[in-house]
Structure 1
Amino acid sequence: MSVGAAVRRVRTYGGQFLLLAVLTLVVTLLISGVPRLVNRLAEQGLRAQLVSEPAARRDLSYTTGVVDAPPTATVMGNARERFDALAATMPSQIRSAVAERWYNADITPARVVGPDLKARNLLVDLGLRTQPDIQNASTLVDGAWPSETYVPDRPIEVALDVDVARKLNLRSGSQLRIGNADDKGRLIDGVPLVVAGLFRPVDRANGIWDGLPQLLQIIEPVGDGQPFTIVGVVAQSTLNKRAAEGWPVQSNWRYRLGVDQIDAQNLDQMIDGLQQMQREKPADLTLTQGVDVPLRAFAAQINAARTLLAVIAAGVLATLAGLIVLAASLAIRRRRSEFVLLRARGGAATAGARRSLAESVLVVPIAAALGWWLGTLFPGAPDPTTPYVIAATVLVTLALPLATLAVPAGGASRRDLIRVRPSARRLTVEVSLLVLAGLAAVLLRRRGLTLGEVDPLLVSVPVLLAIAAAVLALRAYPWPLLLVSRLAARTRGSVAFLGTARAGRAAVAAPLVVVVLAIGTAAFCAVVAAGVDASRDRAAERLVPADAVIRGERFAPDTIDEMGRLPGVRAVTRVVYQEDERLASDEVGTDARLAQTDVLLVDGSGLDTVARESDVDLSVPDAVRTARPGPGPLPAIVSPAVAADLAKAGLGDSAFISVQGQRYEFRVAGTEDDFPLVSENADRFVILPWQALPTRTTTPAPSSLLIAGDSLDAEALRRAGDQGQERYQRNGAFSGRDRLIGVTVDTRADVRRDLGDGGANGVLAFGFVAGAVGGSVLGLLAIAFTVLAGARARGQVLSRLRTLGLSRRQWRGLLLVELAPLVAVSVLTGALVGAVLPLLLNPVLGLSAFTSGVPVQVAFEPSLVAAVLALGAIALGFAVAVEALNNRRLRLGEVLRLGEES
Structure 2
Amino acid sequence: MSIGAVVRRVRAHGGQYLLLAMLTLVVTLLISGVPRIVNRYTEQGLREQLTGLPAVQRDLTYATGPLVAADDGTSLVDAHRDELDTLQVGMPPDVRKLVERRWFTAETEPGRVTGPDLAAKNLLVDLGLRAAPGIEEAGTLVEGRWPDEGAAAGQPVQVALAAEVARALNLRVGSRLWLALSATPRGTPPPAPITVVGVFQPEDRTDGIWEGLPSLLRVVEPPGDAQPFVIVGVTGSAALDRLANTGSPIRFGWRYRVGAAGIDVRELDQLIDSIQQMSREAQGRTFVQGLDIPLREFAAEVAAARTVLAVIAAGVLASLAGLVVLAAGLIVRRRRAEFTLLRARGGAVTTGARRSLAESLLVVPVAAALGWALGNLVPGVPGDTAVLAVVATVLVTLALPVATVAAPTGVAARRDLIRLRPSARRVTVEVGLLLLAGLAVVLLRRRGLTPGEVDPLLVSVPVLLAVAAGVLAMRLYPWPLRLVSRLAAGTRGSVTFLGTARAGRSVVTGPLVVVVLAIATAAFCAVVTAGVEASRDRVATRAVPADALIRGERLAPDTGAELARLPGVRAVAPVLHESGQGIATDAVGTDARIGPASVLLVDGPALARTAREAGVDVTVPGVLLAPGGGTGPLPAVVSPVVAAELADAGLDGSAFIAVQGQRYEFRVAGQAASFPLLRADTNRFVVLPWQALPRRDYAAVPTGFLVAGDRLDAGALRRVGDEGQARFQSGGTIVGRERPRGVEVLTWAGTRRQLGEGSANGVLVFGFVAGVAAGTVLALLAIAFTVLAGARARGQVLSRLRTLGLSRRQWRGLLLVELAPLVGVSVLTGALVGALLPLLLTPALGLSAFTSGAPVPVAFEPGLVAGVLALGVVALGFAVAVEALNNRRLRLGEVLRLGEES
TM-score where L is the length of structure 1 = 0.95
> Closer, same or farther in 2 for the Cα pair 1:483/1:760, shift >3 Å?
same
2:830 aligned residue: 830
Change (3 A) 1:888 1:419: closer
**1:454-485 deviations in whole A, cap 9, x for unaligned?**
32111111111101111121121111110111
Q: For the structure 1 residues 258 and 503, does the alpha-carbon distance in structure 2 shift closer, same or farther, using more than 3 Å as the test?
A: same
CA–CA distance in 1 between the matches of 2:588 and 2:61?
44
Question: Are the counterparts in 1 of residues 452 and 846 from structure 2 also a CA contact under 8 Å?
Answer: no
- Give the alignment of 1:548-697 within 5 angstroms: 548-626=548-626, 628=628, 630-697=630-697
User: Do structure 1's residue 870 and structure 2's residue 870 form an aligned pair?
Assistant: yes
**1:702 partner letter:** P
Partner SS for 1:821: helix
Q: Which residue of 2 aligns with 1:185?
A: none
Which residue number corresponds to residue 159 of structure 1? 160
CA distance in 1, matches of 2:699, 2:190: 46
Distance 1:275 1:691, change over 3 A: farther
User: TM-score under structure 2 normalisation?
Assistant: 0.95
In 1: Cα distance, 2:68 partner to 2:490 partner: 107
Structure 2 counterpart of 1:30? 30
1:274 is aligned to: 275
**Structure 1 residues 214 and 613: CA distance shift in structure 2, 3 A:** same
- Residue identity opposite 1:236 in structure 2: S
**CA–CA distance in 1 between the matches of 2:589 and 2:492?**
92
Instruction: For residue 619 of structure 2, give the secondary structure of its aligned residue in structure 1.
Output: coil
Distance change (3 Å), C-alpha of 1:644 and 1:82: farther
Q: Is residue 99–residue 261 contact of structure 1 (8 Å, CA) maintained in 2?
A: no
Once the two structures are superposed, the pairs formed by residues 152-301 of structure 1 within 5 Å of their partners are: 152-179=153-180, 190-283=191-284, 285-301=285-301
Per-residue deviation, 1:426: 2.9
Change (3 A) 1:265 1:655: farther
1:520 equivalent in alignment to 2:520: yes
Please report how far the alpha carbon of residue 252 of structure 1 lies from its aligned counterpart in structure 2 after TM superposition. Answer: 2.1
Name the structure 1 match of 2:787: 787
Query: Is the CA contact 1:823–1:876 (under 8 Å) kept in the aligned structure 2?
Result: yes
Tell me if the contact between 1:75 and 1:105 (Cα under 8 Å) persists in the aligned partners: no
Amino acid at match of 1:379: P
1:203, distance to aligned residue in structure 2 (A)? 2.6
Equivalenced residues, count: 897
What is aligned with 1:753?
Answer: 753
Q: Which moved more, 1:673-682 or 1:270-279?
A: 270-279
Gaps of 5+ in 1: 183-187
Moved more, 640-649 or 795-804: 640-649
CA distance in 2, matches of 1:8, 1:478: 42
Question: How far did residue 802 of structure 1 move?
Answer: 1.1
User: Judging changes above 3 Å, is the alpha-carbon distance between structure 1 residues 733 and 689 closer, same or farther for their aligned structure 2 residues?
Assistant: farther
* Residue aligning to 2:150: 149
Q: Paired residue for 2:378?
A: 378
2:405 matched to which residue of 1?
Answer: 405
Q: How many Å separate the matches in 2 of 1:245 and 1:650? A: 65
**1:763 equivalent in structure 2:** 763
The amino acid of 2:132's aligned partner reads: Q
- Post-superposition CA distance 1:836-866 (Å, at most 9, x none): 1112111111112212222111122111121
CA distance in 2, matches of 1:621, 1:222: 41
Q: Which residue of 1 is the match for residue 128 of structure 2?
A: 127
Relative distance call for 1:733 and 1:282 in structure 2 (3 A) is farther
SS in 1 for 2:135: coil
Contact 1:114 1:176 in 2 (8 A): yes
Residue aligning to 1:47: 47
For residues 273 and 623 of structure 1, do their structure 2 counterparts lie closer, same or farther at Cα, with a shift above 3 Å needed? farther
Q: 1:635 to 1:88 in 2, by over 3 A?
A: farther
Q: Are the counterparts in 2 of residues 340 and 409 from structure 1 also a CA contact under 8 Å? A: yes
Match of 2:454 in 1: 454
Contact 2:149 2:237 in 1 (8 A): yes
Shift in Å at residue 406 of structure 1? 1.3
**Equivalent runs, 1:722-871 vs 2, <5 Å:** 722-732=722-732, 734-739=734-739, 741-871=741-871
Q: Is the 8 A contact 1:157 1:193 kept in 2?
A: yes
Structure 2 gap segments, 5+ residues each: 184-188
Contact in 1 for aligned 2:146/2:160 (Cα 8 Å):
yes
Name 2:186's counterpart in structure 1.
none
Mark the CA change 1:718 to 1:659 in structure 2 (over 3 Å): closer, same or farther: same
Identify which range, 213-222 or 446-455, moves more after superposition. 446-455
Q: Which residue of 1 aligns with 2:533?
A: 533
Question: What pairs with 1:302-341 in structure 2 (closer than 5 Å)?
Answer: 302-341=302-341
Letter paired with 1:460: S
Deviates most, 551-560 or 760-769: 551-560
Which stretch shifts more, 402-411 or 517-526?
402-411
- What is the root-mean-square deviation in Å for CA atoms of aligned residues? 2.4
Deviates more, 1:583-592 or 1:658-667: 583-592
The code of the aligned residue for 1:403 comes to A
Asked if the contact 2:725–2:740 (Cα under 8 Å) also holds between the matched residues in 1, the reply is no
Give 3-state SS (helix, strand or coil) of 2:11's partner: helix
Letter in 2 for 1:689: P
1:385-407 deviation line (CA, Å, top 9, x unaligned): 11001000000000100110012
1:517 Cα shift?
A: 0.7
1:90 aligns with 2:91: yes
Residue 105 of structure 1: CA displacement? 1.9
Percent of matched pairs sharing the same residue: 67
CA gap of 1:95–1:653, structure 2 versus 1, over 3 A, is farther
Structure 1 counterpart of 2:858, which letter?
V
Residue correspondence of structure 1 range 871-890 to structure 2 within 5 A: 871-890=871-890
Per the alignment, do residues 278 and 710 of structure 1 end up closer, same or farther by CA in structure 2, a change over 3 Å counting?
A: same
Q: Is the 8 A contact 1:113 1:177 kept in 2?
A: yes
Q: Write out aligned runs for 1:396-545 (5 A).
A: 396-416=396-416, 422-545=422-545
The residue type equivalent to 1:305 in the other structure is A
**Structure 1 residue 553, shift from structure 2 partner:** 1.6
Contact residue 581 and residue 598 of structure 1 kept, 8 A: yes
Cα offsets for 1:707-756 (capped at 9, x unmatched): 11111111111111111121122123532223373111111011111111
Deviates more, 1:504-513 or 1:87-96: 87-96
How far the C-alpha of 1:793 sits from its partner, in A, is: 0.6
Report deviation, 1:586. Answer: 4.2
For 1:464 and 1:45, the matched residues in 2 are separated by 33
Deviations along 1:541-564, one digit per CA (max 9) or x if unpaired, are: 011111111121221222222222
Name the aligned partner's letter for residue 133 of structure 1: G
The equivalent of 1:101 in structure 2 is: 102
133-142 vs 546-555, which moves further: 133-142
SS in 2 for 1:366: helix
Q: CA deviation at 1:198?
A: 1.5
Instruction: After TM superposition, give the deviation of residue 576 of structure 1 in Å.
Output: 2.3
Deviates more, 1:836-845 or 1:387-396: 836-845
Structure 1 residues 754, 95: CA separation in 2 closer, same or farther (over 3 Å shift)? same
Shift of residue 225 of structure 1?
4.6
Residue pair 2:530, 2:860 contacting (<8 A) in 1 also: no
Q: Which amino acid aligns with 1:712?
A: L
Distance 1:495 1:64, change over 3 A: same
SS of alignment partner, residue 221 of structure 1: coil
SS of the residue corresponding to residue 259 of structure 1 reads: coil
- Tell whether the 8 Å contact from 1:98 to 1:261 is kept in structure 2 after alignment: no
Q: The residue matched to 1:23 in structure 2 has which SS?
A: helix
Separation in structure 1 between the aligned mates of residue 61 and residue 633 of structure 2, nearest angstrom: 49
Given that 1:60 and 1:254 are in contact with CA atoms closer than 8 Å, whether structure 2 keeps it comes out as yes
Report if aligned partners of 1:61, 1:287 keep a CA contact under 8 Å in 2: yes
Amino acid at match of 2:352: G
SS for the counterpart of 1:261 is coil
Alpha carbons 2:69, 2:247 under 8 Å: kept:
yes
